[in-house]
Chain A
Amino acid sequence: MSEIEVRHLSKTFTQKDLKVDALSDININIEKGDIYGIIGMSGAGKSTLVRCLNYLERPTDGQVIVRGQEMGALSEKELRQARMKIAMIFQSFNLLQQKNAVENISFPLRIQGTPKKEAKARAKELLRTVGLSDKAKSYPSQLSGGQQQRVAIARALACDPDILLCDEATSALDPQTTDQILDLIKEINESLHLTIVIITHQMSVIQKICNRVAIIENGHLVEEGRVEDIFNHPKSRAARELIFREVHGDPPTLQSPIDEITEGTKIRIVFTANSAFEPVVSNMILKFGQPVNILRANTRNVGGVAKGDMILQLPVDRETRLQMEDYLKERGLEVEEVTT
C-alpha cells in the first residue's frame, strides 16, 4: 500500500464562464519514506496538486488515498482529523505574526486541546530539533526567513505527522539557506521516517534531496520516476528544459551561443560516479587529435554522488564523431544529442 495514491485526479476551476483545467488525470504513487518531488513551471498546477493531497482543495474528479484512506469519503470532521497527520509548510512560512516561536509551534497542539504546559514543552523540544533553542520568545518579525521556515517546520512536526507537504518551501530563501533547510528536511525524513512531498520549480532542489520526481506541465503529468533516471535520461521536453535551464542558465533558444555554433554536432554528456574525476574529455582529444569545444560544463552533487554534465561540440566528420561518442560511452558516460 502506497503512503499516498493519486488516481485520475483532475481539478477544474470555474470562474464565471471561464474554465481552467489546473490538473488533468494525474496518477502518482508516493511510498512511505519517499522524498517525492513535484516540479513544473509557474502555473503548471503544482500548488493545486499538493493542496488536493490534504483536500484543502477538493478535486473535481479522481481520488486521493492517504494511508489507505480515501480523502473524498471523509466527513468534514474526519478530514480535519486526517489533516493533523499531514503537515504542510509554505513558501511564505505563514507563521502567526502575533505569536512567538514557541506559541506558533504549540498552536497545532493547542487547537487539538493539548494542555498549554505540555504543548509548550513539546514546542521547546522541537525548537531544539530545528536548531533554534535560543529563539523561543522571538516573534516572526524578529526572525530571518530561514529561521521562520525552521519554526514552520517545527510547527509542522508538532503533531507527529506521517506526511510533510512542502509548497515551494525554499523559494523565498537564498541558496545557502535553501541548502540548510533542505538538509534539515532530509534529516527529518531519515530520523522520523516521514514521507515528504516537495513542490518546487528548481531542479536543484529535486536533485539535492528527492528520490523520485514527477514533472507537471500545464496540469498534465509528463514524466515520473527516479530522480537519477530522469536527470540522466530526460524523456520529455519539459524535463529537458528544466534540467537545461537550471544547469546552463536559460533554456537554449535560437539566440543562445549553442545555436550560433552551427558547425558540428552538440552532445550532452552526463558523468556518473566513477567517471567524473577522470580527465575523460582531454584524454579523448589527445587520442583523436581532433578539437572538441566545451560549450558549457557543470558539476554538481546528486544524491550524495559527484555528478556533472557538459555540452560538447564534436567535429563535423561523422566517423570521428561516432567514435568519440563510443569512446565516451565506454567510459561510463551518458551521451545524448542536443537537438534544441
Chain B
Amino acid sequence: MDMKTIQLLANGLLETVYMTLVSTALGYLIGLPVGILLTVTDKEGIRPNAFIYRILDVIINIMRSIPFLILLILLIPFTRFLVGKSYGTTATIVPLVVSAAPYIARMVESSLKEVDAGVIEAARSMGASNLTIVFRVLLVEAKTSLITGATITLGTILGYSAMAGTVAGGGLGDIAIQYGYYRWQTDIMLITVALLVILFQIFQMIGMKIASALDHRK
C-alpha cells in the first residue's frame, strides 16, 4: 500500500471520528434537555404536563420513523442553508444531529426513568426543588445508564456517518463507496470496513469502561 492510500485512509478515519463525535455531542446538546423534559413532564414525572409531553412525544416519534438516508436527502436544503453546501463532513453533521437528537432524547428518557421513585421521594422530603432533583438526583443516579446510552448512541451515529458517505458525506463510508463500489478496489474497501469495526470496538470499550468505573451499585 502506498503512502497516498494510507494518507487517504487516515484522513477518512479522522473525518469519521470527527463527524461521529461532533454529531453525538451536538445531538446531546438537544437530546439531553428534551429527554429531561420528557421525564419531568411524564404523568409519573416530578412535574407532569400532558401537553408538553404529548407534543415532544409526537415530534420525536415522527422524526424517528424517517429512515436516515431519506432524512439525509430531505434535509439537503436545510443543510445548504446552515453550512453553505450539502456535501462533505461538516454538512453531514447536520442530518446526523437531526437524527441523533430524538434518538438521544429517548435514550435519556429511559435512563432517567430507571431512577428509583423512592430516592426522588426522599429528596422531595428533604425540601429539594425540582431543579435540584433533576441535576443532583436524576442525572447523578442515572449516570451509568446515561453513559451506556451514550456509548450505544455513538455506535449508531458511527454507522449513520458511514451511510452518509454514500452521498459524498466524507469519512470512511465515502472511501468505501468511492473505491470499493465505483472502482472495484476491494482491498481498500475491506480496510475501511476493518477500520470501522475497530473504531466501533474502541468506542464501545471506552464507553463501557467509563460506565462501569463510575457505577457504585456493585
Q: Does B218 contact A (CB under 8 A)?
A: yes
Give min CB distance, B48 to chain A, whole Å: 14
The answer to whether B216 touches A141, judged by C-beta atoms less than 8 angstroms apart, is yes
Among the stretches A84-92, A195-203, A311-319, the one at the interface with B is A84-92
A86, A90, A98: which contacts B216 (Cβ < 8 A)?
Answer: A98
> Cβ of A107 < 8 Å from any Cβ of B?
yes
Q: Which of A54, A96, A100 contacts B119 (CB 8 A)?
A: A96
Complex contacts, A327 vs chain B, CB 8 Å: none
Within 8 A of A (CB), among B193-218: 214-218
Check A299 for interface membership: any CB of B closer than 8 A.
Answer: no
Cβ contacts B87-125/A at 8 Å (1 or 0 each): 000000000000000000000000000001011011111
Write out the residue numbers on chain B whose beta carbons fall within 8 Å of the beta carbon of A88: 122, 125-126
Measured CA separation A99–B143 after assembly (Å): 12
Contact residues, A86-132 vs B (CB, 8 A):
86-88, 90, 92, 94-100, 107-108, 110-112
Least distance between A52 CB and chain B CB atoms (Å): 12
A80 touches B119 (CB 8 A): no
Within 8 A of B (CB), among A57-105: 80-84, 86-88, 90, 92, 94-100
Query: Do A97 and B118 touch across chains, with their CB atoms under 8 A apart?
Result: no
Interface of chain B, main secondary structure? helix
B119, B126, B127, B132: the one contacting A97 at CB < 8 Å is: B119
0/1 string, B125-169, CB within 8 A of A gives 1 = 111110010001100110110000000000000000000000000
In the complex, the answer to whether B141 meets A111 with C-beta atoms within 8 Å is no
B217 and A97: CB pair below 8 A? yes
Report the nearest B residue to A97, measured CB to CB.
Answer: B217
A92→B120 CA distance, assembly (Å): 12
Is there contact, CB below 8 Å, between A94 and B119?
yes
Which one of A92, A108, A141 contacts B126 once the chains associate, using CB atoms below 8 Å? A108
> B118 and A90: CB pair below 8 A?
yes
B-side contacts of A107, CB under 8 Å: 123, 126, 136
Q: Which of A86, A94, A112, A141 has the most CB of B within 10 A?
A: A94
B157 to chain A minimum Cβ distance, whole angstroms, is 27
Asked whether, in the complex, the Cβ of A141 is within 8 Å of the Cβ of B218, the reply is: yes
How many residues on chain A are close to B (CB under 8 Å)?
30
Q: B118 to A111, Cβ gap below 8 A? A: no
Q: Is A80 a contact partner of B118 (Cβ separation < 8 A)?
A: no
Q: Which of A86, A95, A96 has the most CB of B within 10 A?
A: A96
Assuming A94-B118, A111-B136, is B218 touching A83 (CB within 8 A)?
no
Contact count band on B? 20 to 34
Question: Is A56 an interface residue, CB under 8 A from the partner?
Answer: yes
A289-311 Cβ-contact flags toward B at 8 Å (1 or 0): 00000000000000000000000
B216 near A100 with CB under 8 A, answer yes
- A190 to B16: give the CA distance in the assembly, Å: 66
Docked Cα-Cα span, A92 to B94, in Å, equals 46
With an 8 A cutoff between CB atoms, is A242 at the interface? no
Pairwise interchain contact A98-B218, C-beta atoms closer than 8 A: no
List chain B residues, Cβ under 8 A from A54.
Answer: 125
Cβ of A71 to closest chain B Cβ, rounded Å: 13
B217 with A84: CB separation less than 8 A: no
Residues of A with C-beta under 8 A to B137 = 96
Is there contact, CB below 8 Å, between A111 and B128?
yes
Q: A98-B216, A100-B216 are in contact. Are A111 and B132 (CB under 8 A)?
A: yes
Rounded to whole angstroms, the CA-CA distance of A99 and B136 in the bound complex is 11
Contact between chains at A96 and B127 (CB < 8 Å):
no
Report which of B125, B140, B216 forms a contact with A83, defined as CB distance below 8 A: B125
Q: Roughly how many angstroms separate A80 CA and B125 CA in the complex, as a whole number?
A: 8
Contacts A139-B216, A141-B217, A141-B218 given; indicate if A96 touches B125 (C-beta within 8 A).
no
A159 in contact (CB, < 8 A):
yes
Residue of B nearest to A81 (CB): B127
Report which of A56, A81, A98, A142 forms a contact with B125, defined as CB distance below 8 A: A56
Contact with A56, one of B124, B129, B132, B214 (Cβ below 8 angstroms)? B124
Flag if B119 contacts A95 (CB, 8 Å).
yes
Contact of A98 among B118, B121, B122, B140 (CB under 8 A): B140
Contact (Cβ within 8 A) B136 A97: no
> Shortest distance in angstroms between B124's beta carbon and chain A's nearest beta carbon?
6
Contact B118 A83 (CB under 8 A): no
Given contacts A83-B126, A88-B122, 20 further A-B contacts (CB under 8 A): A56-B124, A80-B127, A80-B128, A83-B125, A84-B127, A90-B118, A90-B122, A92-B116, A95-B119, A96-B141, A98-B140, A98-B141, A98-B217, A107-B126, A108-B127, A110-B136, A111-B126, A112-B127, A139-B216, A159-B126
- Could you pull out 6 A-B pairs where Cβ atoms are within 8 angstroms? A54-B125, A83-B127, A84-B127, A88-B122, A92-B116, A97-B116
Residues of B near any A CB (own CB < 8 A): 116, 118-119, 121-129, 132, 136-137, 140-141, 143-144, 214-218
